[in-house]
Chain A
Amino acid sequence: MYKGVAITGMGIISSIGNSVEENYNALLNSQIGITTIENIATVHADVIKVGEIKKTNQELIEELQLGEDNNFSRTAMLGTIAAKQAVKNAGITLINEYRTGLISATSVGGMDMTERYYHEYFDNPEVVKYISSHNAGDNTDKIASELGLKGMVTTISTACSSAANAIMLGARLIKSGKLDRVIVGGTDALSKFTINGFKTLMILSEDYNKPFDNERTGLNLGEAAAYLVLESDELVKKENKKVLARVSGYGNANDAFHQTASSENGDGAFLAMEKAFKIAQLQPEQIDYINVHGTATPNNDLSEGRAIVRLFGENKVPDFSSTKPFTGHTLAAAAAIEAVYSVLAIQNNVVFPNLNFKTPMEEFSLVPQTTLKHATIEHVLSNSFGFGGNCSTLIFSKSE
């Protein structure tokens, strides 16, 4: 078995907490973060529910001690908070001491500011500074500057699978010896743009999202950021680092079926999982928990479920759950926060519940784990799928 790339630090901010500990406690106690939207003025405020971080931009600016002339988007601020936590958690004090990279994921970048000032730009010189914040890369550059990081910095955007690809790239960079350590993850803030985009696609639920339920009505959007620190084994040994868990497998495939919809038999998802098993040198029966993508849209859960049945066998599917009833679907950050939850599952030997589930889907007999369960967790598989047919799977394993 391939033992995988060491994870030595984690950081997260989501609607269920501002730290790893807060997120873990919320998951243990079924405290969900789905509420009415407060920070964005939208005509849909009364009908939609979102996983919103209850901090205003001003509060985030103060927390990060940014100057008055800063031009941080909310996406960049959330990302900076989570990335700083991860670096601190990994015990890194001199960020450029080793060859260190930052691979971040985002789908909206600075859209929150662009939509706020779109028509104001020509009348108010004070907001012109936000024009450059729109670019996805600008958000990552800001996170890198706040960390003081000089090195390989890049950004991935494959819609809702983005952060899984960032973690995968990071693991490959460590494995190939191109970097000694790398901060990987993703960040996305809520925006009118995505709220209305998903609304026009008619996949936003007005109710609390209920993944893998026959009566599921769509997703709740959320916002979040999370990062992991990956380090080479040489560095782990040299610095005597504590390894939280390992990234042992990863796979990426394209469904090549439709620009936004997943194929009915989940070809892309199946291929992504298959590749991840190959890299990890693991068999499906060794997986103790699947953190499914489980957005609660009719299309995703059917496609993902079919792929899981194909790969594991309908009666051999391990415990699985979607944590999106807690956080909402946080788009490019989803795979990063779910990576943190996967590591927590391994560290604490626990399966988090798939809330809001009542009725099994008629297409197969899959029933998610609906209550908190304590069990030995050696390997966790985490799926993430996005528009454009992008499907990615990560496997996390306990460190020896």
Chain B
Amino acid sequence: MKKTYINGLGCISAQKTFDTIFLEEAELNEDDIILPLKAPVYKDFIPPVAIRRMAKGVKNGIVASTLALRVAHLETVDAIITGTGMGCIEDSEKFLKAILDNDEQFLTPTSFIQSTHNTVGGQIALGLQCKAYNLTYVNGSVSFESALFDAKMKIEEGEASSILVGGIDETSDYTMSLFKLAGFIKEENQGPYSVLEATTNGVVFGEGATFFALENEAKENTIAEILDLEILNKLDVSEVEDKIISFLALNNFELKDVDAVVLGYNGDVDSDSYYKNLSNTTFVNTPQVYYKHLSGEYDTASAFGLWVGSKIIQTQNIPDIVKLNALDKPAYKTILLYNQRNGNDHSFTLISSC
């Protein structure tokens, strides 16, 4: 059975994650409740005429996927698989608002067209003229992992030798105001919003586009190998440790073999209870990493998490800004990632150096 290697990365996020090595220019922002992404220079990647028509998520998806392909030295791929929680919500909002405010009249189709969840995947295919397998997953916090799971399965089936897989989500004004109203986002003017010392519900929100170029063979530029992935819709806090142990066992690993664990802490006191026990007992002797204080929380923030995990393996270094504890390892070979949100949509991802 063919193995799955990460041979290219591209990341657009609230941090400077392009034209850098690994978060050396990262800035911790604990004052805002929404972290906008650092926009790349789009015209370096997309013709200016096209830029104006494109949704934010589409532009960032194209840039991130282009970067990933470049790093992997790939021109095209055998599959394009994306994950997005909400799709291009700015356009959804624009179209819905026009319907409601103009009594269903005088509408134009552009924002409707861009509002479908598979717009980014479709636009990447269009740009690459790639007629291969194309799929979009939309399941909350496992949207990206579903795409990654499919990609790995495609490689195992021998149906693809190279695959673009990515997670894309964008913020938009009205949806963010609804999320504040519903309490999903923290209340304004209550900062600093420290992810680790949180005592309230709600999160600091973010947006981003993170792409991976996967291939079925290790090359000179290989960054990491994806060993395994598991997706589960519901778990109780008390079940997580056993799940991790059995997931590791399936891959002939034990807890002590994990060189670093990347956890999805998002600053919601209830949601984070899923990680606390792991931090304090299960992985108390393991270097621990968190990242949503840099990216913000969003449905595909875990793709940023995988970017962090991959970079740790590539650079053999954990930057201080993502360290949860003071532990170090001489080498980072095997890394476990665990993410969930409010007890739903759990994912375990195991990666290693080659």
Contacts and interface: CB of A to CB of B under 8 A. Distances in A.
Contacts of B123: 259, 388
Nearest to A268: B131
Interface in A269-320: 271
Interface string B124-146: 01101111111111111111001
Contacts of A121: 178, 181
A259 B126 contact: yes
A137 B139 contact: yes
B95 A158 contact: no
B118 A159 contact: yes
Contacts of A256: 125-126, 128-131
Contacts of A359: none
Given A252-B134, A254-B132, A267-B131, A131 B182 contact: yes
Interface in A123-176: 128, 131-132, 134-138, 140-141, 144-145, 149-159, 165, 169, 172-173, 176
A254 B80 contact: yes
A193 B134 contact: no
A384 to B, nearest CB: 13
Contact of B118 (A44, A151, A154, A158): A158
Interface stretch (A54-62, A196-204, A341-349): A196-204
Contacts of B125: 254, 256, 388-389
Contact of A137 (B135, B149, B345): B345
Contact of A155 (B119, B139, B235): B139
Contacts, number: 197
Contacts of B235: 150
A205 interface: no
B182 A140 contact: no
B222 to A, nearest CB: 24
B107 interface: yes
Q: Is the interface of A mostly helix, strand, loop or mixed?
A: mixed
B108 interface: yes
Contacts of B112: 193, 196-197, 200-201
Contacts of A109: 138
Nearest to B130: A256
A201 B231 CA distance: 38
Given A131-B181, A151-B233, A158 B134 contact: yes
Contact of A200 (B92, B109, B128, B149): B109
Nearest to B98: A196
B140 A138 contact: yes
Given A140-B139, A196-B99, A256-B129, A153 B134 contact: no
B184 interface: yes
Q: Is the interface of B mostly helix, strand, loop or mixed?
A: mixed
Interface in B145-175: 146, 149-150, 153, 156-157
A253 B105 contact: no
Contacts of B231: 152-154
B27 interface: no
B271 to A, nearest CB: 14
B178 A260 contact: no
Nearest to B110: A200
A176 B99 contact: no
B136 A157 contact: yes
Contacts of B234: 144-145, 150
A176 B122 contact: no
Nearest to B236: A150
Contacts of B117: 107, 136, 157-158
Given A150-B233, A260-B113, A135 B107 contact: no
Contacts of B131: 253-256, 267-268, 271
Contact of B109 (A192, A201, A388): A201
Contacts of A106: 138
Q: What band does the interface of chain A fall in when counting residues whose beta carbon is under 8 Å from B?
A: 35 or more
Contacts of A159: 116, 118
A1 interface: no
A389 B133 CA distance: 11
B99 A128 contact: no
B140 A165 contact: no
Contacts of B136: 156-158, 388
Contacts of B141: 137
A192 to B, nearest CB: 6
A24 interface: no
Nearest to B89: A134
A131 B103 CA distance: 22
Given A115-B96, A128-B182, A253-B134, A176 B126 contact: no
B121 interface: yes
B116 A141 contact: no
A172 B96 CA distance: 36
B96 A156 contact: no
A118 interface: yes
Contact of B134 (A173, A258, A259, A388): A388
A157 B86 CA distance: 11
A328 interface: no
Interface string A346-387: 000000000000000000000000000000000000000011
B100 interface: yes
B18 to A, nearest CB: 26
A131 B134 contact: no
B232 interface: yes
B95 A193 contact: yes
A36 interface: no
Given A176-B156, A201-B113, A259-B119, 14 more contacts: A121-B178, A135-B86, A135-B299, A137-B139, A152-B232, A154-B139, A157-B136, A158-B135, A200-B109, A201-B109, A253-B131, A387-B116, A387-B119, A389-B122
Interface of B: 80, 85-87, 92, 95-97, 99-100, 103-105, 107-109, 112-119, 121-123, 125-126, 128-143, 146, 149-150, 153, 156-157, 178-179, 181-182, 184, 230-235, 299, 344-345
Interface of A: 42-44, 102, 106-107, 109, 111, 114-115, 118-119, 121-122, 128, 131-132, 134-138, 140-141, 144-145, 149-159, 165, 169, 172-173, 176, 178, 192-193, 196-197, 199-201, 252-260, 267-268, 271, 386-390
* 10 A-B pairs closest in CB distance: A388-B122, A137-B140, A197-B112, A153-B233, A137-B139, A157-B117, A254-B134, A136-B138, A388-B118, A155-B139
